[in-house]
Amino acid sequence: MTRIAIVGVAGRMGRTLVNAVEQQAGASLAGGIVEPGSSLAGADIGELAGVGKRGVVAVDSLAAIVDDFDVLIDFTAPQVTLANLAFCAEHGKRIVIGTTGMSDDELAELDSYRDKVAMVFAPNMSVGVNLTLKLLETAAKALGDEGYDIEVIEAHHRHKVDAPSGTAIKMGEVVAESIGRTLKEHGVYERVGQCGPRTDKEIGFATVRAGDIVGEHTVMFATEGERIEITHKASSRMTFAKGAVRAARWVADKAHGRYDMQDVLGLE
Ligand code: NAD
């Protein structure tokens, strides 16, 4: 049985994760962490998640439950996640990280823990998106050098704080790597005013923020006469949460290292 604690347990993903842990055999709900000083500390995390009392109360520090869990699941914010990563490395815990929006420096700091802790880090934990990444690799290899323009379009709910989404960036990276390009050189994140015609090798990103959209991504390969669109639509956060719990169970017996969902799902 993998004992799982959830950071940000009162958040959108946190509450969904409580449900997801309960639904999976081999996983148990070992704790929930809310922001330091939060009035929700002491609340039953089952009640926070709307599934009824579960006898596990939210705490506002990881140290308070250090002996209770094996794997931490963290869907919060970059600086919070990095502090939790350090905690897990120090205390021999494993961690599943879904937080997006990290800067290059923050990503480098995260990566510096690869020899100190077993972590799964993925901007999108859904099985469907990770299969989509494989499809994109195949499409990019076949079309990328054949005069097809590549664009990534994503849409999310109005509360999302980072853009483009971590998933959109990951999709762009997979496509770019498959055809010998890089997003640093070829990524275009903004077009406004007299920006001129599109160049052949750029990979463009477009972002929509509206209402309650859970997450939609399309990668378009367009040329004269046809276009191919590979689309993934998430209709419930449960798809990310189930993937995260699967990752937590998978990483529970792994050696130190930085893994992603392709590793968890055996898609490499
Ligand atoms: P949210 O704002 O609803 O939840 C974040 C929670 O973290 C909040 O409840 C907040 O109180 C809590 N928090 C902040 N600081 C904390 C601290 N120091 N200790 C404990 N808790 C703290 O956001 P969300 O929609 O749940 O998304 C969270 C993150 O997960 C974002 O980066 C989002 O992009 C990412 N996300 C990733 C995936 C994926 O599959 N990888 C899917 C959905 C969302």
| Confidence band of 55 (pLDDT split at 50, 70, 90) | very high
54 is in an annotated binding site: yes
- pLDDT tens for each residue of 129-171: 999 999 999 999 999 888 999 999 999 999 999 999 999 999 9
Residue among 156, 186, 217, 232 flagged as catalytic: 156
**What's the pTM?**
0.91
Q: What is the Cα–Cα distance from 211 to 208, expressed in whole angstroms?
A: 10
pLDDT at 136: 97
In terms of phi and psi (left: phi > 0; alpha: psi -120 to 50; beta: otherwise), the region of 266 is: left
From 65, 100, 236, give the residue whose CB has the most ligand 1 atoms within 8 Å, as the site to mutate.
100
Q: Would you state the pLDDT for residue 267? A: 81
Q: Does 245 have pLDDT greater than 80?
A: yes
Q: Ligand 1, atom 37: nearest CA belongs to which residue? A: 98
Rg (CA), the chain: 19
pLDDT at 268 over 80: no
What's the CA gap between 156 and 208, in Å, rounded? Answer: 6
Mind listing the pLDDT tens digit for each residue in 255-267? 999 999 999 998 8
Q: Please state whether the peptide bond connecting residue 164 to the residue before it is cis, i.e. omega within 30 degrees of 0.
A: yes
Which residue's CA is minimally distant from atom 21 of ligand 1? 8
With pLDDT > 90 as the criterion, what percentage of the chain qualifies? 97
Burial of 257 (0-12, 13-18, 19+ CB in 10 A): middle
pLDDT tier at 43 (50, 70, 90 boundaries)? Answer: very high
Give the residues surrounding ligand 1 with Cβ less than 6 Å away: 7-8, 10-14, 33-36, 75-77, 80, 98-101, 122-125, 240
Give the position, in ligand 1's atom list, of the atom nearest the Cα of 166.
Answer: 34
Report the alpha-carbon angle 206-238-4, nearest 5.
120
pLDDT in tens, 101-133: 999 999 999 999 999 999 999 999 999 999 999
Query: pLDDT at position 194, please?
Result: 97
Distance in Å, CA 100 to ligand 1 centroid: 9
Query: Measured between alpha carbons, how far is 132 from 159 in angstroms, rounded to an integer?
Result: 25
